[in-house]
Structure 1
Amino acid sequence: MFPDIGAVFGPYTYLVSEILFGSVALWLLVRAEALSRAAKTLLVIYPIGFVWDWYTLTIGVFAIPLRTGVELLGIPLEEHIFIVVVPALVLGIHENLLRW
């Protein structure tokens, strides 16, 4: 049903998807003029997401096969980006709905 982008991007697949969705989140936040407000929220949420990700990866809840292999503080680079992108996308959608 969906194209296998893993065959195209290999170990960079997760990173590419984070960049794609992060770009959408950034566009939505800029469009809603909510970038600075969202940044404050993301700064508060990030440590919670970091601990949550670290814990779930440590106990083996999930594995990430299509990643770069670069780790920062015991968490894959892509997960650090994910911790920011997901709430940023939610905030971007929310802020745009408020303006609608």
Structure 2
Amino acid sequence: MLPWFVPDVGAVFGPYTYLASEVAFGAVAFALLYRAGALRRAAATVAALYPVAYVWDWYTLTIGVFAVELRTGVDLLGIPVEEHLFMVVVPALVVGFHETIHDYD
């Protein structure tokens, strides 16, 4: 049960909830990276981390460590398409925050 002040976005987006959250946070990451002039640094970070993240994700999904709910059901290379986006968005968001904070040094 969610607290009264936390909206149930799953009720709004249904099977597109995970995808919508990745798009929203991806937009934040892009805005931060663009502002900081760090799109290339983020792309390099994502390219370096993606293969490891893919193997890790595929393995954990295969052995049943976690289940992805509220997703589209579209798989690509054995894992949900939303997970592919997650593996791009998370490092991009981290680099975006780092570069934005670093601008204020």
Q: Give the TM-score normalised by the residue count of structure 2.
A: 0.93
> Residue 67 of structure 1 aligns to a residue in which SS?
coil
Aligned to 2:90: 86
Structure 1: state its 5+ residue gaps.
none
CA distance in structure 1 between the aligned counterparts of 2:100 and 2:7, rounded to whole angstroms? 30
Q: Does 1:97 align with 2:62?
A: no
Aligned to 2:39: 35
CA distance in structure 1 between the aligned counterparts of 2:101 and 2:7, rounded to whole angstroms? 31
Mapping 1:1-100, distance limit 5 Å: 1=3, 2-100=6-104
- Give structure 1 regions of 4+ aligned residues with deviation exceeding 2 angstroms: none
CA distance in structure 2 between the aligned counterparts of 1:90 and 1:38, rounded to whole angstroms? 9
> What count of residue pairs does the alignment treat as equivalent?
100
The alpha-carbon deviation at position 76 of structure 1 amounts to: 0.1
CA distance in structure 2 between the aligned counterparts of 1:37 and 1:18, rounded to whole angstroms? 20
CA distance in structure 2 between the aligned counterparts of 1:64 and 1:54, rounded to whole angstroms? 12
CA distance in structure 1 between the aligned counterparts of 2:18 and 2:103, rounded to whole angstroms? 31
CA distance in structure 1 between the aligned counterparts of 2:87 and 2:69, rounded to whole angstroms? 18
CA displacement 1:21-78 (0-9 Å, x = unmatched): 0000000000100001111111111101100100110111111110000000110000
Q: Give the TM-score normalised by the residue count of structure 1.
A: 0.97
Pairwise CA RMSD: 0.6
Identity %: 67
